[in-house]
């Protein structure tokens, strides 16, 4: 049985100070992922810091220059917000495909971004080699089941994928995460927030000890209003993505050509994976011409390094990108 103390924190300064004083502290917000970590023995906290009373972090603000989401906003509340639904539809669509309604009612946005991989070896209660769980112990997935693992950006240290749906939507919209520490605040793009595994696979994100996510900011853009999320999974509900796509597109409705587009993939890498070459190549192409849209993906997908069992993700992801762009373009047309 794990024994730990519980403390309710009422200010951000107190939270980061306590985290710095005691690195074995673990933050409690919605607690849905923390419950998994405790059950699986992934964390062994000495002290839980309940941050649910931190002021201002439960707000959703839509302004002309963009959207601000407090880290304590619950997934269900963000998904139901009318301005978010009309101005940034990719976000509620991604949220609606995450977990169950009960979990979405409880889970916080900050906690969702800080989920850890669903790699079965990482989550196993058996003591298996896992560099993410125990640095330097090896990676059981390299010689094991790799169907759900990464095809982009993996290393010999870790081939896991990140499970967050909404992180993929936020990456496509060029969102930033604001981090608070005893030294002040800093903003990190969501795309840079998630690290590649490299030779430090135990580090999932750019977050440093004693740093706290306070806010997620999504800038206003010409592409946000026509944006969509498509999640491909092995069963219809309560399942993580084999492949997912967030697409945000600005289309000239008279000519049907793409003026601007943002694309991010989920289920294929250690974090959301943008497709920059495809975004460049797609500008000026007819959105309805599937073969030309597909053709624009080739350069980015040439970087894919499938493993024994997950080569199917390449074709699946390409087709999902084409479909998601078209679904996004149909919004409001």
**CB nearer to ligand SF4: pick between 19 and 158:** 158
Distance of CA 286 to the CA centre of its chain: 29
Total interface residues for ligand SF4 by CB under 6 A: 15
Distance of CA 10 to the CA centre of its chain: 27
Q: Report if residue 162 touches ligand SF4, rule: CB under 6 A.
A: no
Written in H, E and C, the secondary structure of 154-185 is CECCECCCCCCCHHHHHHHCCCEEEEEECCEE
Q: Which of 9, 29, 75, 159 binds ligand SF4 (CB under 6 A)?
A: 159
**Is the separation of the CB atoms in 308 and 227 below 8 Å?**
no
Q: Which of 34, 71, 94, 122 binds ligand SF4 (CB under 6 A)?
A: 122
Q: Which of 160, 210, 249, 320 binds ligand SF4 (CB under 6 A)?
A: 160
Distance of CA 80 to the CA centre of its chain: 19
303: number of Cβ within 10 Å: 12
Q: Report if residue 324 touches ligand SF4, rule: CB under 6 A.
A: no
Q: Report if residue 141 touches ligand SF4, rule: CB under 6 A.
A: yes
Least gap, CB of 272 to ligand SF4 (angstroms): 17
Q: Which residue stretch of 94-102, 156-164, 250-258, 310-318 sits at the interface with ligand SF4 (rule: CB under 6 A)?
A: 156-164
Least gap, CB of 256 to ligand SF4 (angstroms): 42
Q: Which residue stretch of 79-87, 114-122, 229-237, 306-314 sits at the interface with ligand SF4 (rule: CB under 6 A)?
A: 114-122
Q: Which of 139, 172, 224, 246 binds ligand SF4 (CB under 6 A)?
A: 139
What is the chain's Cα-based Rg? 20
**Is the separation of the CB atoms in 104 and 79 below 8 Å?**
yes
**CB nearer to ligand SF4: pick between 160 and 248:** 160
Both tokens assigned to 77 = 């509340």
- What residues between 174 and 193 interact with ligand SF4 by CB under 6 A? none
Q: Which of 9, 48, 99, 140 binds ligand SF4 (CB under 6 A)?
A: 140
Contacts of residue 317, Cβ cutoff 8 Å, sequence gap at least 6: 151, 243, 245, 265, 268, 301
User: Which string of b and e fits 86-113 if b means at least 16 CB within 10 Å?
Assistant: ebbbbbbbbbbbbbeeebbebbbbbbbb
Q: Report if residue 158 touches ligand SF4, rule: CB under 6 A.
A: yes
**CB nearer to ligand SF4: pick between 114 and 141:** 141
Cα dihedral value 313, 316, 317, 323, nearest 10: -170
**Is the separation of the CB atoms in 102 and 75 below 8 Å?**
no
Residues 196-235, mask of contacts with ligand SF4 (x by CB under 6 A) = -----x----------------------------------
**CB nearer to ligand SF4: pick between 122 and 194:** 122
Q: Report if residue 240 touches ligand SF4, rule: CB under 6 A.
A: no
- What residues between 251 and 310 interact with ligand SF4 by CB under 6 A? none
Q: Given CA atoms 104, 109, 114, 117 in this order, what sign does their dihedral have?
A: positive
Least gap, CB of 134 to ligand SF4 (angstroms): 9
Residues that bind ligand SF4 (CB under 6 A): 117, 119, 121-122, 130-133, 139-141, 158-160, 201
């Amino acid at each position: 049985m794990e024994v730990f103390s519980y403390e309710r924190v009422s200010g951000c300064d107190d939270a980061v100070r306590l985290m710095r004083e005691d690195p074995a502290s673990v933050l409690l917000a919605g607690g849905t992922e923390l419950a998994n970590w405790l059950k699986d023995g992934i964390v062994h906290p000495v002290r839980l810091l309940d941050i649910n009373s931190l002021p201002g972090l439960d707000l959703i603000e839509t302004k002309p220059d963009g959207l601000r989401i407090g880290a304590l906003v619950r997934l269900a509340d963000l998904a139901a917000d009318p301005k978010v639904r009309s101005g940034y539809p990719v976000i509620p669509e991604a949220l609606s495909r995450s977990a169950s309604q009960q979990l979405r009612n409880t889970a916080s946005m900050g906690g969702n971004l800080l989920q850890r991989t669903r790699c079965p070896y990482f989550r196993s209660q058996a003591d298996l080699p896992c560099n993410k769980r125990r640095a330097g112990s090896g990676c059981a997935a390299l010689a094991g089941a790799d169907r759900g693992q990464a095809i982009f950006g993996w290393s010999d240290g870790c081939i896991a994928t990140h499970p967050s749906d909404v992180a993929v939507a936020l990456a496509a919209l060029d969102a930033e995460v604001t981090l608070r520490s005893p030294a002040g605040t800093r903003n990190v793009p969501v795309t840079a927030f998630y690290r590649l595994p490299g030779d430090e696979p135990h580090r999932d994100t750019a977050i440093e000890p004693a740093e706290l996510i306070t806010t997620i900011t999504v800038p206003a853009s010409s592409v946000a209003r026509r944006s969509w999320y498509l999640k491909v999974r092995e069963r219809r509900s309560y399942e993580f993505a084999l492949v997912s796509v967030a697409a945000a597109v600005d289309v000239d409705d008279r000519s049907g050509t793409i003026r601007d587009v943002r694309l991010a993939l989920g289920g294929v890498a250690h974090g959301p994976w943008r497709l920059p070459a495809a975004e460049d190549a797609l500008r000026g192409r007819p959105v309805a011409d599937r073969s030309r849209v597909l053709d624009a993906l080739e350069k980015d997908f040439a970087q894919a390094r499938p493993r024994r069992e997950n080569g199917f993700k390449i074709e699946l992801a390409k087709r999902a990108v084409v479909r998601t762009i078209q679904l996004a373009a149909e919004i409001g047309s």
